[in-house]
Amino acid sequence: MQLGVECHVLLVHNWFPPLGLHQLHPYWKEGKKVQDNFFEEYEGVKIHSVPSYIPIPNFISNENHYDRDARSIAQYVKSRPELRDADWIYAQFLTANAFIAAKIKDLLKIKIAAIARGDDIHAWPEANPLLRKNFPLVFEKTDVLLANSRNLGRDAQKWMTPGMLREVGVIYNGIDTIKFRPLKDKIEKDELRKKHGLNPDLKYLVCIGTPVALKGWNELFEGINKLGKDFDAWNLLAIAPTRTDKDALNLDNLAVKYNIAEKVIVRHDLPLDDIAEVLRASDAFILASYNEGMANSLLEAMASGLPCIITEVGGHNEVIESEEEGILIQPKSVPDIINALKKITGNEVLRQSIGTKAREKMIQFGDYQMNARKLLHLLEQHK
């Protein structure tokens, strides 16, 4: 927006009737619940709530949810003067949002850009063969195809059919190096520890991630268990959003399973400002996920001056290019986790050295506006 682009966000929910009648059907209940969680605007960007009508009973229509959402969005855009002359649709995630955008393109004749972010290239299509069928239309219709790391872009190209190889541009995630910054001094650290209920006499290893197995929680907890006395002076601060899906892990129960409950503090749904403060109050960061495009939590931890241990997946080796900047480990490797933690937890000089280099790297890496300018340049090239 600062660069002169008018931005709108469109979020879809199941249509539901007014006057409390949504209680009469589970589709409608779900739609009301989802819409209630939408913001009307965020940081000056208007967020539109787009209803998608599901015929009841749904067997009377053979329309799938992709076609239904595409039709609903197209109708909504046509009915809004501020949207109908849009130049671009920007879709996050290739196998779902970009597939819907590809269908909208034919209905609205608006160009589309789409970005791969990680699970949409790895976990989702690998687990669900039906999602793989979405790739050909996405690759055919998308005008500007992007990924949030070079490695992820190459992974996206592996799904392209022979003879249809396309260039994938790279737009890294931006990082706010003002919000995410190192500690000023010990006084600030003590104040933050007190504010967030952290013991001033312990060291804290922080992990931020969705509570699912793909984030490597099992391997991390097992590694801490096997470290034994080498982890005595430390606690793990596990920060995770509340998740009720069937694949969700209960991190408190997982800590009990691995006999490290006294070493694990679980915090759910921390606001971004609190996460920035907790990172400054911590001593090291780890994320053992199986796949990523580029983990925001890694960038935030590095910008906060923390030494980071991260799996060598997605674009992480594009950020951490040497052991002076962080420690790369292999996914699902408990021995790698143990060895990396031994290096970090037992050497304060090394922690400070890596943290300083990590902060320097993030200053060079690029903030939101730098990456917004790059995105705008790519879009303007494809007018």
Average pLDDT, the chain: 95
Location of each CATH 3.40.50.2000 domain in the chain = 87-174+368-383, 186-365
pLDDT tens digit sequence for 221-243: 999 999 999 999 999 999 999 99
pLDDT tops 80 at residue 139: yes
Q: What are the tokens at 87?
A: 């130049």
Q: What was the pLDDT predicted at 142?
A: 96
Q: Are 250 and 268 in contact (CB under 8 A)?
A: no
pLDDT tens digit sequence for 74-83: 999 999 999 9
pLDDT tops 90 at residue 59: no
Q: Taking every pair of C-alpha atoms in the chain, what is the biggest distance, in angstroms?
A: 68
Q: What was the pLDDT predicted at 383?
A: 81
Cα–Cα distance, 215 to 121 (Å, whole number): 16
Q: What CATH code would you report for 87-174+368-383?
A: 3.40.50.2000
367: confidence class by pLDDT, cuts 50, 70, 90: confident
Which one-letter DSSP state was computed for residue 172? P
Q: Are 116 and 93 in contact (CB under 8 A)?
A: yes
Residue from 306, 305, 276, 354 nearest 205 by CA: 306
If you classify domain 186-365 with CATH, what class do you get?
Answer: alpha beta
Q: What was the pLDDT predicted at 62?
A: 77
Q: What was the pLDDT predicted at 164?
A: 85
pLDDT tops 90 at residue 120: yes
pLDDT tops 80 at residue 57: no
Q: Are 217 and 293 in contact (CB under 8 A)?
A: no
DSSP sequence for 259-316: T-GGGEEEEES--HHHHHHHHHH-SEEEE--S--S--HHHHHHHHTT--EEEES-TTH
pLDDT tens digit sequence for 290-336: 999 999 999 999 999 999 999 999 999 999 999 999 999 999 999 99
More reliable by pLDDT, 173 or 263: 263
Q: What was the pLDDT predicted at 262?
A: 97
Alpha carbon distances (Å) from 181 to 82, 298, 300: 38, 13, 8
Cα–Cα distance, 314 to 116 (Å, whole number): 11
Q: Any residues with CB less than 8 A from the CB of 259 and at least 6 apart, and which? A: 225
